[in-house]
Amino acid sequence: MSVPRSQSTGDTRKRHKMPLSLSPLRLTVMALLLIVTVPSTAVLPTQVDGAPLPSLAPMIERVTPAVVNISTVSVVRREDQPLLRDPIFRWFFERPRQSRERRNQSLGSGVIVDAKQGHVLTNHHVIEKADEIRVTLHDGRELVAELLGTDPDTDVAVLRIPNENLTAVQLADSDRLRVGDFVVAIGNPFGLSQTVTSGIVSAVGRSGLGIEGYENFIQTDASINPGNSGGPLVNLRGELVGINTAILAPSGGNVGIGFAIPTNMAEAIKRQIVEHGGIRRGVFGISMQNLTPDLARALKLPAKTAGAVVNGVKPDSAAEQAGLKAGDLITRLNERSISGATDLTTQLALLRVGDRVELEVIRDGRNRTLSAQIADPFAHFVDGDDISRQLQGARLGEVIDESSFGKNRGIAVGPVVENSNAWNAGLREGDVLFQLNRSRIESLDDLRKATDDGVYRLKLRRGSRLVTLVSR
């Protein structure tokens, strides 16, 4: 029987002319080689100096039952070719008009924050335009979710699922988060369920990124990828500190710069959605800017002072009633320090209509405390039903609209009830109406007169576009 070369048992001493006696150095080297080969049967230690090896596994096991996979289906209707939209063409060729449907699917993550109520936090962009939302739990159960409400400006959405044997994550005070704290991101990137990555807090209070309307992000180097959106960012105690929402990816991949919405912001939005079915942002009535070194010298303030400088105060606003004046430096809002103009804007946006605010300001080198109440931006609006039955469901008010199209009088559209007459006519909150039918509209009286012939053609500004709506 022949033996493979690698296992040959012949006497190799003659072949290599090796002496029978081995030097101490050679024996030492051989002993070391034997030691190196031992780990094939060795076991890693379970303790070091009497203490167990550190592991995140126990914390992860507690948190993952609260992390869910969110899948959505949206139906997009595609029309036939433009030529086939011509009724004469279709009649001549006896071709009926048809619309085809395309079903788009998307995946994201979410986290259960209230087991008794079945409330799930996720991102607005995860469920945007979804016709169907399904939530898959850690134990494999798949549930149909109800959308309670959403806030595109902060990218927060709240879902409700049946409250049967659910596990919720504990909430942390995200205001106490510090740069350097360890954090863990959990989610379903690329459809890979329950993926865990770790890192540290790279920065807090990130803003000016242009990702959302109101920004106060936690920045982390924990890997966040497509599908992680809406999932939790937790501390080492397993408490929720943020909702993962975006990454900075100049090369198209993860470069270690991810962003999460702080828990305190997400929870404030959730409370409004649960109580009111949406966000009821109020109006304070100031314009502001950051404190620059030059401005600090002009206001005779220390260079390192933090806060937001008031540029202007709107007449008859809550800010004017509080006694604010241009040149005031706002340093605190309801016992929360203000770092700059963006921070103050975000904090004001989280307050509800009617909330009391207490401000600490510096004026002429002296500290002052002022108080006010957040005003309802639609307090002076009227119900559309009072003007025309076809405008039922909308709140309407006179405004002087300032945009890239100039400064024009018009009618602002406030909240619009879904599936109301105004909604079905195409009106949406934020629109500014300038023309109805053939009449130029500058006041509510103009609007009433123009509706005598009904509502069949509307011209308005929507964002940066001029839009014409035609009733069918």
pLDDT digits (tens, 9 = 90+) for 394-428: 999 998 888 888 888 999 998 888 889 899 888 98
Tally Cβ neighbours within 10 Å of residue 32.
9
Q: Is the dihedral of CA 151, 154, 155, 156 positive or negative?
A: negative
Contact 130, 124 (CB under 8 A): no
- The CATH H-level (homologous superfamily) assignment of domain 170-276 is Trypsin-like serine proteases (2.40.10.10)
Task: Check residue 128 and give its pLDDT.
Answer: 86
Name the CATH superfamily housing domain 63-160.
Answer: Trypsin-like serine proteases (2.40.10.10)
Q: Which residue has the higher pLDDT, 80 or 298?
A: 298
Is pLDDT larger for residue 472 or for residue 212? 212
| Residue 336, CB-side half-sphere exposure with 13 Å CA sphere | 19
Collapse the DSSP code of 388 into the 3-class scheme (helix H, G, I; strand E, B; otherwise coil) and give the result: coil
286-373 and 382-470 in the same fold: yes
The answer on pLDDT for 82 being more than 60 is no
Domain at 286-373: CATH architecture = Roll (2.30)
Q: What percent of the chain has pLDDT over 70?
A: 80
Which of 338, 344, 346, 287 is CA-nearest to residue 154? 346
**Per-residue pLDDT for 450 more than 70?**
yes
| pLDDT given at position 210 | 67
- Model confidence band, residue 16 (pLDDT cutoffs 50, 70, 90): very low
> Stretch 366-385: mean pLDDT, rounded?
88
Output the pLDDT for position 417.
87
- Residue 401 known to be catalytic: no
Q: Compute the distance between CA of residue 12 and CA of residue 20 in angstroms, rounded to an integer.
A: 11
Position 89 pLDDT exceeds 60 = no
Which sequence spans correspond to the domains of the chain? 63-160, 170-276, 286-373, 382-470
Q: Measured between alpha carbons, how far is 447 from 443 in angstroms, rounded to an integer?
A: 6
CA geometry: angle 159, 160, 161, nearest 5 deg: 125
Q: Closest Cα partner for 134 from 71, 215, 59? A: 71
Is residue 301 predicted with pLDDT exceeding 60? yes
Taking phi over 0 as left and psi of -120 to 50 as alpha, with beta for the rest, 231 belongs to: beta
Q: Which of 109, 114, 125, 446 is catalytic?
A: 125
What are the tens digits of pLDDT across the range 258-269? 899 999 999 989
Q: What tens digit of pLDDT does each residue of 335-362 get? A: 888 888 888 888 888 888 888 889 999 9
Q: Which two tokens stand for residue 162?
A: 């049946």
pLDDT at residue 281 in the model: 80
In the annotation, is 202 catalytic? Answer: no
Active-site residue (options: 106, 207, 229, 388):
229
- Does position 19 have pLDDT exceeding 60, yes or no? no
Q: How many residues does the chain have?
A: 472
Q: Which of 114, 151, 155, 221 is catalytic?
A: 155
The verdict on pTM exceeding 0.85 is no
Name the least confident of 100-114, 288-302, 376-390, 453-467.
100-114
**In terms of C-beta density within 10 A (0-12 exposed, 13-18 middle, 19 or more buried), how is residue 346 classed?**
buried
Q: Can you read off the two tokens belonging to residue 34?
A: 């034997």
Structure tokens, 336: 């929360």
Instruction: Of 359, 315, 355, 304, give the one whose Cα is nearest residue 337.
Output: 359
Residues above pLDDT 90, as percent of the chain:
32
Compute the distance between CA of residue 188 and CA of residue 231 in angstroms, rounded to an integer.
Answer: 8
Which pLDDT value is given to residue 31?
38
- Which CATH code fits 382-470? 2.30.42.10
- How does pLDDT run across 145-176, given as a tens digit for each residue? 999 989 888 899 999 999 989 999 999 999 89
- pLDDT tens digits, one per residue of 95-135: 554 555 566 666 889 999 999 999 999 999 998 888 889 99
pLDDT at 29: 37
Write out pLDDT tens, residues 268-284: 899 989 987 778 788 88
Q: Is 155 a catalytic site residue?
A: yes
| Per-residue pLDDT at 194 exceeds 90 | no
What value, to the nearest 5°, has the Cα angle with vertex 387 and ends 383 and 388?
A: 105
315 pLDDT band, cuts 50/70/90, is: confident
